[in-house]
Structures are given as C-alpha cells and as structure tokens.
Amino acid sequence: MGTRYPIAGCNLRRTIWGLILCPVLAGCVFTSNLAPDEQQLRDDEAVFILGVRPRLQVQIWDGDDVGEDGWRLPQVRSGVMNHLPENGYIVFKLPATQAGRSYGLGRLIDVEGDGTVFEPCEDSVTPTFKLQAGAVVYAGDLVYEIKATRVNFRLAVDVKSAQEYLDNNYPVLAPRLVSLPVQLRKVTNGACSPTTVTIPM
C-alpha cells in the first residue's frame, strides 16, 4: 500500500474563494499545454507526467531547496501550473529546474466535491520534483485520500502505465520518458499552522 503522508492543509471553504483564488485563477490552465504531436522542446524546457487520483485540481509551485530535505514556498503563491488530470495523468511543459530549486505541490482543490482548498502547512511534508532539460520526466503517482479537514497521500510508481499513456496521447515525445520519482521535503514556511484550520461556510 505504501506510506501515507498527511498534508495538514489550510482548509479554506468557498466563503473566501474570492480572496484566495481570484488572483490565482486569472491566468490558469486546466488542461495540458502540449499538443499531441508536439515535437520540439527548447534547451531550457522539460515535460513532466504525474499520476493523480482522485481527480483533484493540482497547483504546482516553484520553491527553494533548504538543506537536504527542506522546501521554502515562494512568496507569491500564484503557481506555475494549475491542472486537472486527464484520464488520471497530468502532462505539462515547464522550464527545467534551476539549481537549488524544486517544483512541488502547492495547492489541491476538490473541484468535484465541495470546493475545499488544501495547502501544505509549515513542517508538513509535500512532494517535490526536479525536471531535467529536454526530457519527459515521470514523477510517479500520487494517490490522495480526503478525510474531513486534511488530505493524506500515498506514493506509487508505475512506469509502464505512464509510458502507455504517453504512447497513446503524446507519441512523438513518449520515447524521451525518464523516471525521476518525487522527493518528499518538509515545508519551512507554510501558510498555516500544522493544525488544520477550517473556516465554515
């Protein structure tokens, strides 16, 4: 079954979506920014594929590595990507990771449930990953479980299924697939305390 890690998230309900999400969603993308026949990547670009279950909207942030296993959230938390999985996968083109930085899970939105927003709190553990320039990087699968005011996740790796998805949907880029699983890092400056805060509707 793998290890479950809690994301003790700021559980923000719909009453404050106007404060939290309007700036975020103004430039959002909910589907892949890659065409099925995409062939070229710039020298500073990479593609990542991430399995996500169930279907939650995922926002990825670009943060600083702190020591061996810490991760500092960006000051402006607008995200480099907002995405809903398509048939269980996110496939997205991003700039390759810079030295001393990692992409990581910044926000989950239960768009098919009650619209709850989850963010990692300070000292909680969140998945982060590196992107190798010119490659299609499979970062693994994240299986989430929402329990009232918090989210737990389990890590899994299924390279074969990821390769089949790329073969069927992005055949030109599929041969570039490499597997670089996520690294779990502790958030050093989360937006909330480790105790989940719920703001009722």
Judge whether 93 lies within some domain: yes
Where in the sequence is the domain holding 31, given as residue range(s)? 4-187
Judge whether 82 lies within some domain: yes
Q: The pTM is what?
A: 0.79
Which whole number is the average pLDDT over 182-187?
Answer: 90
In the chain, how many domains are there?
Answer: 1
pLDDT number for residue 93:
92
CB atoms within 10 A of CB 159: 13
Which whole number is the average pLDDT over 83-112?
Answer: 90
pLDDT number for residue 1:
44
Q: Where are the alpha helices (DSSP H) in the chain?
A: 17-20, 22-25, 159-169
- Under the banding of pLDDT at 50, 70 and 90, the label for residue 43 is confident
The Cα 122–Cα 124 span in angstroms is 6
Smallest CA-to-CA distance from 100 within 130, 121, 123 is with 130
The Cα 125–Cα 96 span in angstroms is 23
Judge whether 60 lies within some domain: yes
Judge whether 129 lies within some domain: yes
Judge whether 198 lies within some domain: no
Residue with tokens 């430039």: 27
Q: What percent of the chain has pLDDT over 90?
A: 40
Q: Which tokens sit at 56?
A: 């939650």
Give tens-digit pLDDT for 128-146.
Answer: 999 999 999 999 999 988 8
Which whole number is the average pLDDT over 40-50?
Answer: 89
